[in-house]
């Protein structure tokens, strides 16, 4: 058996793209091309698609890793030049449910608090979030909070390194977040700890919510979630009685087929107790990518225009139509998930994919590749020849946004910060905005942006919540949080303080309770697939590993299927032994790692090393109907010993 050296980088090392590539015929090889040839070919394909199949046959995969400015231009390209709202990004695979849930409750899709508030809060709930690994610097703020006296509760199927810092760890069964949240809500109501003054003033739908959670007694919840009733009661009382509480979540909540419902179930708890809209009391979804917040804010999503303004609102559309000199369809475009489905039905014919790697990041990745192969025209703009770029008709070498371009990105606390160019790009690589504008010009739209600031100022002119953020002020304040409508004022660090106003006029639209029901994971465990596989991140690696694979981390040990000691014993497998891991969709071979932090029946893998072990062959493409996020967190698998017993590393 091969030795796995600590610190060994993964087998696949990506090198930067330095010149354009084109494919002369489907199935043929990619060959080097000039920019002129590649851009002409890319443009011709988009033009042909639009002329022959209509605007909605085009789709844009914008990039949650690139700047706000690039996302603004990409969505403008989609809407103005191609005439469709089919624009989306990989926010769909992670936090779209957070945005959908928060905007349904509060009319705004951002986290309601700031990092600094967690340092002085009284109670911190980390739900489905291993921030110690996935968001280490955010967790430093949590640790400061704990050192300042806050109590922390961790809710996670795995006893993670985040849970090590908790006062109490609630190890629930995968996909039982709603029963747990409902039981907490019911306990708060029955213990007389609900904040009725807040509920009456600032919310709607309480009676219905009370009826919905009524069946979820502590003992019923214990049976379903696997969490002892006492632990649930303890968290309920702690959350309701805390002066100020922060409820934080990550992908453990959102990457489910009912992710938006999960988010609503958590928001309900804040409405029930008034733990929102005050300094130190709020909701904090932790975003997985440097600009997944900003991409959505910029309108690179199918239902919102820049500034998170509703496509369906006639006045908003009129404003943008006037600003852009175009007409906008009064309907939503397709989200990423729907675009993939439309590839199969041949309604979607051409895709412009900027900096995304759906061939490896989508759930059920085998199916995603097959679907992309059905496209007439695929243009990929990236810094590497990713698996997705390998499928493309035209590959355009771009700059690494965070260090080779100027612009801004928006973080999890809604802070817009300046990105600055520090190094020159390699070879012939060009800036994203420059490339998009070149194609736009070839399609008859001569957009003139002198620099990223010109793009930003155009965005500021159409987005009230960004209006006050000039580049100068962003530098002065080390970033500014939205909303920031005025150029001479800063808003509070927390949002929705209006809900506490006495005057109904100023209080605005009350926040509705989300009436949501428990719906277990789609991929059921049974005799054939008895183990529950969940996925997540490790400290030193990131997503599909294209970016993090290049440095020699002493912590990196490659991909493993992690099993509890009980399951390892049951299957007679030991650490480092390679086994076959099979789900209803696919099968991979991976070595075993025995992790005592896992409970029996639960297995864990990451998606960091898809070129070694393609975990997303196993995951299920069952989607949240509201947000379109796939259920990465819950697959059913089985483990099989390989026929020839592998030697064990001594």
* Binding to other proteins in span 423-462, by CB under 8 A: 423-424, 426-427
Q: Confirm if 235 and 184 have CB atoms less than 8 A apart.
A: yes
**What part of residues 286-305 is at the interface with other proteins (CB under 8 A)?**
286-293
**What part of residues 496-535 is at the interface with other proteins (CB under 8 A)?**
500
Beta bridge partner(s), residue 609: none
35 binds other proteins (CB under 8 A): no
**What part of residues 79-118 is at the interface with other proteins (CB under 8 A)?**
115-116
Stretch of 215-223, 421-429, 448-456, 506-514 contacting other proteins, by CB under 8 A: 421-429
Among 49, 75, 388, 411, the residue binding other proteins under the rule CB under 8 A is: 411
User: Taking CB under 8 A as the rule, which mask of x and - marks residues 123-162 in contact with other proteins?
Assistant: -----------xxxxx-x--x---x---------------
Tell me 510's DSSP state: P
| Residue 449 CB, nearest approach to other proteins (Å) | 20
Query: Residue 86: which residues within 8 A CB-CB, separation 6 or more?
Result: 56, 58, 59, 60, 78, 302, 333, 334, 339, 348
Dig out the tokens for 400 from the structure: 């690494």
Among 29, 314, 325, 554, the residue binding other proteins under the rule CB under 8 A is: 554
| Residue 95 CB, nearest approach to other proteins (Å) | 8
Among 412, 564, 583, 615, the residue binding other proteins under the rule CB under 8 A is: 412
Among 230, 551, 600, 649, the residue binding other proteins under the rule CB under 8 A is: 551
539 binds other proteins (CB under 8 A): yes
Number of residues that bind other proteins (CB under 8 A): 76
Quickly tell me which residue has 């309601």 as its tokens. 112
Stretch of 150-158, 200-208, 306-314, 410-418 contacting other proteins, by CB under 8 A: 410-418
Cβ–Cβ contacts within 10 Å for residue 31, how many?
10
**What part of residues 37-56 is at the interface with other proteins (CB under 8 A)?**
none
What separation, in Å, do the N-terminal and C-terminal C-alpha atoms of the chain show? 11
Virtual torsion, Cα 599, 602, 603, 605, nearest 10 deg: -100
Among 39, 401, 462, 622, the residue binding other proteins under the rule CB under 8 A is: 401
- Of 294 and 512, the one with the shorter C-beta distance to other proteins is 294
- Of 38 and 276, the one with the shorter C-beta distance to other proteins is 276
- Of 148 and 223, the one with the shorter C-beta distance to other proteins is 148
Dig out the tokens for 527 from the structure: 């005799």
Query: Residue 391: which residues within 8 A CB-CB, separation 6 or more?
Result: 359, 369, 372, 373, 378, 380
Q: Long-range contacts of range 102-107, CB-CB < 8 Å, 24 or more positions apart?
A: 102/263, 102/267, 102/283, 102/285, 103/308, 104/260, 104/264, 104/512, 104/514, 105/264, 105/267, 105/271, 105/511, 105/512, 105/514, 106/495, 106/496, 106/511, 107/509
Beta bridge partner(s), residue 593: 562
Among 549, 586, 601, 628, the residue binding other proteins under the rule CB under 8 A is: 549
| Residue 557 CB, nearest approach to other proteins (Å) | 11
Q: Confirm if 38 and 396 have CB atoms less than 8 A apart.
A: yes
User: Taking CB under 8 A as the rule, which mask of x and - marks residues 162-201 in contact with other proteins?
Assistant: ---x------------------------------------
Dig out the tokens for 108 from the structure: 């705004």
278 binds other proteins (CB under 8 A): yes
Stretch of 11-19, 229-237, 252-260, 448-456 contacting other proteins, by CB under 8 A: 11-19
- Of 242 and 368, the one with the shorter C-beta distance to other proteins is 242
- Of 36 and 243, the one with the shorter C-beta distance to other proteins is 243
- Of 294 and 306, the one with the shorter C-beta distance to other proteins is 294
- Of 289 and 335, the one with the shorter C-beta distance to other proteins is 289
Q: How far is CA 225 from CA 157, 222, 239, 252, 474, in A?
A: 10, 5, 19, 14, 45
Q: Is 440 left (phi over 0), alpha (psi -120 to 50) or beta?
A: alpha
**What part of residues 326-385 is at the interface with other proteins (CB under 8 A)?**
383-384
| Residue 89 CB, nearest approach to other proteins (Å) | 13
Helix (H, G, I), strand (E, B) or coil at 379: strand
**What part of residues 561-620 is at the interface with other proteins (CB under 8 A)?**
none
Among 402, 471, 529, 571, the residue binding other proteins under the rule CB under 8 A is: 402
Tell me 430's DSSP state: B
| Residue 482 CB, nearest approach to other proteins (Å) | 13
Biggest CA-to-CA distance, the chain? 74
| Residue 374 CB, nearest approach to other proteins (Å) | 31
Among 7, 215, 504, 565, the residue binding other proteins under the rule CB under 8 A is: 7
How far apart are alpha carbons 157 and 257 in whole angstroms? 17
């Amino acid at each position: 058996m091969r030795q796995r050296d600590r610190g060994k980088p993964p087998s696949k090392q990506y090198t930067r793209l330095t010149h354009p590539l084109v494919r002369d015929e489907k199935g043929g090889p990619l060959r080097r091309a000039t920019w002129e040839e590649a851009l002409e070919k890319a443009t011709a394909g988009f033009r042909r698609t639009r002329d022959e199949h209509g605007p909605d046959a085009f789709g844009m995969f914008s990039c949650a890793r690139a700047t706000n400015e690039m996302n603004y231009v990409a969505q403008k390209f989609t809407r103005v030049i191609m005439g469709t709202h089919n624009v989306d990004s990989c926010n769909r695979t992670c936090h779209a449910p957070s945005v959908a849930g928060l905007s349904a409750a509060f009319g705004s899709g951002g986290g309601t608090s700031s990092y600094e508030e967690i340092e002085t809060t009284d109670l911190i709930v980390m739900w489905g979030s291993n921030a110690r690994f996935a968001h280490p610097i955010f967790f430093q703020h949590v640790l400061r909070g704990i050192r300042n006296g806050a109590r922390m509760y961790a809710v996670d199927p795995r006893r993670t390194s985040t849970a090590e810092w908790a006062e109490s760890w609630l190890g629930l069964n995968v996909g039982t977040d709603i029963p747990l949240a409902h039981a907490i809500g019911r306990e708060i109501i029955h213990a007389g700890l609900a904040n009725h003054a807040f509920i009456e003033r600032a919310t709607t739908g309480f009676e219905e919510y009370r009826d919905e959670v009524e069946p979820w007694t502590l003992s019923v919840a214990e049976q379903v979630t696997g969490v002892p009733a006492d632990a649930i009661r303890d968290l309920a009382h702690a959350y309701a009685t805390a002066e100020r509480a922060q409820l934080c979540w990550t992908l453990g909540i959102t990457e489910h087929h009912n992710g938006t419902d999960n988010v609503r179930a958590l928001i309900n708890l804040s409405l029930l107790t008034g733990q929102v809209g005050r300094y130190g009391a709020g909701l904090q979804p932790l975003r997985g990518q440097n600009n997944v917040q900003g991409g959505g804010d910029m309108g690179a999503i199918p239902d919102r225009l820049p500034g998170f303004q509703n496509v369906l609102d006639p006045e908003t559309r009129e404003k943008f139509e006037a600003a852009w000199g175009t007409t906008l369809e009064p309907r939503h475009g397709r989200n990423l998930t729907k675009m993939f489905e439309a590839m199969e039905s041949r309604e979607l014919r051409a895709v412009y994919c900027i900096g995304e790697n759906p061939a490896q990041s989508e759930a059920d990745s085998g199916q995603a590749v097959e679907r992309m192969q059905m496209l007439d025209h695929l243009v990929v703009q990236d810094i590497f020849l990713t698996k997705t770029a390998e499928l493309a008709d035209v590959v355009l070498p771009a700059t690494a946004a965070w260090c080779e371009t100027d612009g801004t990105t928006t973080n999890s606390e809604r802070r817009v910060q300046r990105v600055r160019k520090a190094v020159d790009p390699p070879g012939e690589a060009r800036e994203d905005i420059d490339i998009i504008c070149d194609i736009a010009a070839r399609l008859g739209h001569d957009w003139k942006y002198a620099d990223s600031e010109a793009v930003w100022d155009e965005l500021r002119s159409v987005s009230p919540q960004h209006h006050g953020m000039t580049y100068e002020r962003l530098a002065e304040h080390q970033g500014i949080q939205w909303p920031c409508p005025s150029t001479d004022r800063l808003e509070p660090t927390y949002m929705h303080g209006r809900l506490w106003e006495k005057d109904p006029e100023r209080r605005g639209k009350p926040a509705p309770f989300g009436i949501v029901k428990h719906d277990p994971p789609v991929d059921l465990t049974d005799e054939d697939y008895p183990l529950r596989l969940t996925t997540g991140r490790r400290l030193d690696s990131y997503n599909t590993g294209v970016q993090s694979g290049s440095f020699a981390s002493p912590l990196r040990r490659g991909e493993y299927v992690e099993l509890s000691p009980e399951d390892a014993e049951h299957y007679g497998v030991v650490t480092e032994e390679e086994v076959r891991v099979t789900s209803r969709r696919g099968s991979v071979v991976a070595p075993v790692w025995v992790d005592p932090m896992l409970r029996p029946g639960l297995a864990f893998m990451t998606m960091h090393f898809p070129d070694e072990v393609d975990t997303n062959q196993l995951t299920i493409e069952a989607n949240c109907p509201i947000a379109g996020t796939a259920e990465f967190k819950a697959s059913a698998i089985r483990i099989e010993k390989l026929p020839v017993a592998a030697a064990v590393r001594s």
